[in-house]
Amino acid sequence: MEAYTSLLSFGLSSHGLSTLEKLYGKPVTVADREMVEEKADNILSEARDSDVAFLVVGDPFGATTHTDLVVRAKKLGVDVKVVYNASVMNAVGVCGLQLYHYGETVSIPFFTETWRPDSFYEKIQRNRLLGLHTLCLLDIRVKEPTLESLCRGRKQYEPPRYMTINTAIEQLLEVEQLRGESTYNEDTICVGFARLGSEDQMVVAGSMRQLLMIDFGAPLHCLVMVGKTHPVEDEMLDFYKLEEKTSEPNDKETA
């Protein structure tokens, strides 16, 4: 069970694992980043002679890591069968913005004191010039080695971190202020999503300024910057608009 590119809604505690094992009738091994990226040969070696299931959260081709596994398996002559699944790429359709009106998806990484990448800006800019919506996937940092431990040659890990919509908007606005190209601003309409697909999923539409004030709760979060809209998209989006939720701004919406 791959456990670093996304997160199961019920987590991978001993209770969560036992739930999966009971469902499948098989033991489940949690595969962290190191196992998937550095010890994949062990997984592929076993798959030569027996059935091995590699479980992921969301669609199996949502991350290049998974595509790489398939390529390596095929080169080894291992037969690969894919079971498709829903992912955030189509689940965001719940807000009413049509999926074929989206441009290139971007990833927003956590900024640090010395590393503040902004390559996503040009992609957002291109999308907005074309009137397209932009899905922003927010950083997940699980089992990341600390810089100090890497220098010492003994791995110690940072606590898991999951970017919130609020942090993403703060970083997006910081980049816009530095660029000064008026690609978006505090009044740009966005949609914030939290825990998509779960019973307590949250979908809220509003300006960047408004969404900054919302507590979206537990991870995982993602953000959509709204482009040019069709009247039908507007009608659906109105159900999630913040101004419609003045008495209960944290209403939870379930698809």
Binding site as annotated, residues: 59, 62, 87-88, 138, 196, 221
Residue with tokens 């509003």: 206
> Per-residue DSSP letters for 89-108?
HHHGGGGS--GGGB---EEE
Is the separation of the CB atoms in 189 and 240 below 8 Å? Answer: no
Q: Where are the beta strands (DSSP E) in the chain?
A: 106-108, 134-138, 140-141, 161-162, 189-194, 202-207, 221-225
Question: Any idea how long the chain is?
Answer: 255
What sign for the dihedral angle of Cα 192, 194, 197, 201? negative
Annotated binding-site ranges for S-adenosyl-L-methionine: 59, 62, 87-88, 138, 196, 221
Q: Which residue in 28, 29, 32, 26 sits closest to 6, CA to CA?
A: 32
Calculate the CA 165 to chain-centre distance. 11
Is the separation of the CB atoms in 95 and 240 below 8 Å? Answer: yes
Is the separation of the CB atoms in 69 and 40 below 8 Å? Answer: yes
94 CB-near residues (< 8 Å, 6+ apart): 193, 196, 201, 203, 253, 255
